[in-house]
Amino acid sequence: MANWPDGRRVAVCLSWDVDGESAQYVRFPDRARRQLSELHQRLYGPQVGVWKVLDLLDRYGLPATFYIPAYTARMHPEVVRAVVRAGHPLGLHGYMHETLDTLTPEEEERVLVRSQEVLGDLAGYRPTLYRSPSWELNRHTPELLVRHGVRSDSSLMDDERPYLLETPAGPLVEIPIQWLLDDAEHWNHTRANRDKAIADPDAVFRLWAGEFEGYHQAGGCYVLTLHPFISGRWVYMQTLERLVRHILGFPGVWWTTLEEVTAWAERQSDLPRRASPPPEPVGGIRP
């Protein structure tokens, strides 16, 4: 097992997906055309939430990674500028937050190329980090990403440390994530899912802290995925700050970004290499 830089025991990546209102247009186009409510709830992210996030990072001197759909970046260029000014890396996250399993291969490539152009123009450099909308990847996606100069993806859940995903175009660094470490699973609350209770912030703190303690022991790469329109609310920001302070009490923490973890992974000679797609079942899928 390769070691983290300077003998540190665990890597911690705070990451925010600044989705804004983008996903609503592709998931529920009729509703988005007729109704304001959910669009405005999601606008809270780029308008209010993300500024609280940047303030928290500034107060603790912490780095983070921001994945932004190109449409959201175009609608809120001040967010892109503020993220770049603060020195946090940007990543690609679709154009309208299109879930990849809804696109043809041609549409998927067009979305990728266009989002690279838009984010590149606004940021002043070409982002090479990727996280798929809703963490959905097609079988051909890793190869497409490599062909377009993307260096890492952060959408798969089969490990707790980075590894290399083999593709016909070359390897892609994969930095794994998990639903458990995503604020949306606990706190995203809309009219459409009102039957699901809002999770108790203390319970979410225990889940996130418990996972962190395991990652710290095992030497993992702890990636928290957050959304300004969800956990930009005060009580959730307080929960996140409590988690930051908790982690600050542990020795050997590498507070880092997915950009730095990607660069670190590219320098390693002994990272696990995994096939993409995974091998077909021996003897086929029928018993």
Which residues in this chain contact Zn ion in the complex, by CB under 5 A? 17, 19
Q: What is residue 172's three-state secondary structure?
A: strand
Residue 155 or 276: the one with the smaller Cβ distance to Zn ion is: 155
Q: What is the DSSP letter of 175?
A: -
Q: Which amino acid is at 185?
A: E
Contacts of 280 (CB under 8 A, 6+ apart): none
Closest contact distance (angstroms) between CB of 244 and Zn ion is 22
* Least distance (Å) between residue 8 CB and Zn ion: 29
Spell out the residues 6+ positions from residue 62 whose beta carbon is closer than 8 angstroms to its own: 14, 56, 244, 255
Give min distance, CB of 287 to Zn ion, in A. Answer: 38
Minimum CB distance to Zn ion, residue 85 (Å): 23
Burial class (CB within 10 angstroms; exposed 0-12, middle 13-18, buried 19+) of 246: middle
Question: Would you state the structure tokens that stand for residue 68, as one six-digit string?
Answer: 């932004």
182/259 with CB nearer Zn ion: 182
Both tokens of 40, joined, read 């405005």
Least Cα distance to 261 among 141, 131, 106 occurs for: 131
Residue of closest CB approach to Zn ion: 17
Cβ-based nearer residue to Zn ion, 92 or 164: 92
Nearer to Zn ion, 17 or 21 (CB): 17
- Indicate the residue among 19 and 153 with the shorter CB distance to Zn ion: 19
> Smallest distance, Å, CB 135 to Zn ion?
8
Nearer to Zn ion, 19 or 174 (CB): 19
Q: Please give the torsion angle defined by the CA atoms of residues 133, 134, 139 and 145, in that order, rounded to the nearest 10 degrees.
A: 30
- Minimum gap (Å) between residue 225 Cβ and Zn ion: 8
| CA 133 to each of CA 29, 49, 67, 92: distance values in angstroms, whole numbers, following the listed order | 17, 19, 10, 9
